[in-house]
Structure 1
Amino acid sequence: MVDYAAFIDVFADYARTISRRYDVGDVMYRLADQVVEVLPVDGAGVSVADPDGGLQFVSATHEDVVRVEGVQITLGEGPCQDAFRTGASVVSDDLRDDGRWARYRTEARDAGFLAVAGIPMRADEQKIGALDLYRRDAGSWSEEDVATAQTLADMASGYILNAITLNESEELSERLRNALDSRVVIEQAKGILAERHGVPTADAFERLRRHARSTRNRIHDVARQVVEDDLRL
């Protein structure tokens, strides 16, 4: 069931954000968190088109989603890939009974997910990316859930396209490249923290997120401080 109070908060955040300059990678992380607050899902991830027309993963709510999103990009199969290619929503109510995406299905189930959905991010005929939704329990995706997810995906597209109009000298590919670069820095910071504290990368990821939230900083800025300035978390 959609949490409409949280949905309104997402719209308010969107309205505040697009009126100023912002980092695309950072708002994609924030939007992934907001998706889980609005919809009855256990995880979400966002992938965007790269300069070569493929998909690259840029944000996720937690490490299990990071793992499955990465697999989906590597394999080139899954609901996110299909939604991106077709421009239509793609859902699976139960991966145990789904005949699609043989290799992806196994990886997603091993990560604990049984129901998944891919929602296209688009603008007219332009393919922007895709929003992925994950549930640990099997069950049908309601029309309300899919429609709400599409609105959230459209907001993600809006963030990206509006960033272009705020600085017309930058092309879309450059904006998306910045988002991908942000992801690389976050992965580097996760590795540093995991090694430093002897913890799994999932715990390292949460350290980054908690510190970013508590200090009201962007997650990629905190990650860059860990990588470049030896920030101790």
Structure 2
Amino acid sequence: MTKKQLPLDELSTAIGRILGLLLTEEKVDHAVQNLSQAIRESVPGTIGAGVSILDSQGRRTSRGFTDSVVEQADFLQYELGEGPCLTAWATEETVLVHDLSDDSRWAQWSAAVSSLPIRSVISAPLTAGGQSFGTIKVYSPEPAAYDTETANLLELFASPAATLLSHIQSAETPKRISEGLQSALQSRDLVNRACGMLMERHGIPHELALQRLLKHTRDHGSSLHHISAEIVAGIPADKN
């Protein structure tokens, strides 16, 4: 499949448009909707785009999704506790999926979305002030629709968008968002510590440790924060 590359002048125009739209918005919902739509139109082969951020209670939620496919795929990630967006959020690294049907990183989520027109995915973290507060993602119905250049393009969008969105978000609900973000960041640090212990204990990479942690959470009907706290405290929580 021949990939359509976005010319430099079109890229500059697209980024300028996104920045202009965000700077004129006063509400998070409007800003995110404009951001998602602009990215969908700017990234070739994309069926839908959206943003995952924290709501006022510190819960992950999808905002500004351009298509019901994005809404459904994201909901299943939050429900199952796994998926490319959650991995990008937790690791603060961009996740690129060339073909979901051949990717074994999120077995439950991949099976759950098998009926949806999703084969390629990119999810990039939204990071501002050294803190990740969400992700931005694009979905394509075609395999191999995205490559590292496309991932770099999404990162170019994510960097300035994260700074502006964090400012808008903070101005809109300063106390509630700040408390939710603080709680989420503390939980993320705890999860990373637990993953580190599992990595050392079992000699496995971070991604596999995170998958084991998520599986144990689901199997025991507990929260990721609670299971991570038990592992850090030295309570046996993973015997696999």
TM surpasses 0.5: yes
Corresponding position of 1:11: 15
DSSP-derived class of the 1:132 partner: strand
Deviation at 1:106, TM superposition (A): 1.8
User: Is 2:95 the counterpart of 1:90?
Assistant: yes
TM-score by length of 2: 0.64
**Partners of 1:46 and 1:130 within 8 A in 2:** yes
Match of 1:103 among 92, 98, 108: 108
Corresponding position of 2:143: 138
DSSP-derived class of the 1:70 partner: helix
Sequence identity percentage? 23
User: Is 2:159 the counterpart of 1:154?
Assistant: yes
Structure 1 residues 4 and 55 mapped into 2: Cα distance closer, same or farther (>3 Å)?
farther
Match of 1:24 among 5, 24, 28: 28
Corresponding position of 1:72: 77
DSSP-derived class of the 1:173 partner: helix
Corresponding position of 2:51: 46
One-letter amino acid of the structure 2 residue matched with residue 132 of structure 1? K
Deviation at 1:135, TM superposition (A): 0.9
Deviation at 1:7, TM superposition (A): 3.2
Deviation at 1:3, TM superposition (A): 5.3
One-letter amino acid of the structure 2 residue matched with residue 109 of structure 1? S
**Partners of 2:19 and 2:161 within 8 A in 1:** no
**Partners of 1:44 and 1:60 within 8 A in 2:** yes
**Partners of 2:25 and 2:31 within 8 A in 1:** no
Please list every run of 5 or more consecutive structure 1 residues that lacks an aligned counterpart in the other structure.
178-233
Corresponding position of 1:180: none
Deviation at 1:131, TM superposition (A): 0.9
Deviation at 1:50, TM superposition (A): 3.9
**Partners of 2:22 and 2:165 within 8 A in 1:** no
Deviation at 1:120, TM superposition (A): 0.7
Separation in 2 of the partners of 1:168 and 1:94?
Answer: 38
Separation in 1 of the partners of 2:74 and 2:28?
Answer: 19
Corresponding position of 1:205: none
Separation in 1 of the partners of 2:151 and 2:84?
Answer: 13
- Name which one, 1 or 2, has greater alpha-carbon Rg: 2
**Partners of 1:160 and 1:175 within 8 A in 2:** no
Measured on the aligned residues, the alpha-carbon RMSD in Å equals 2.8
TM-score by length of 1: 0.66
Q: How many residues align?
A: 176
Corresponding position of 1:118: 123
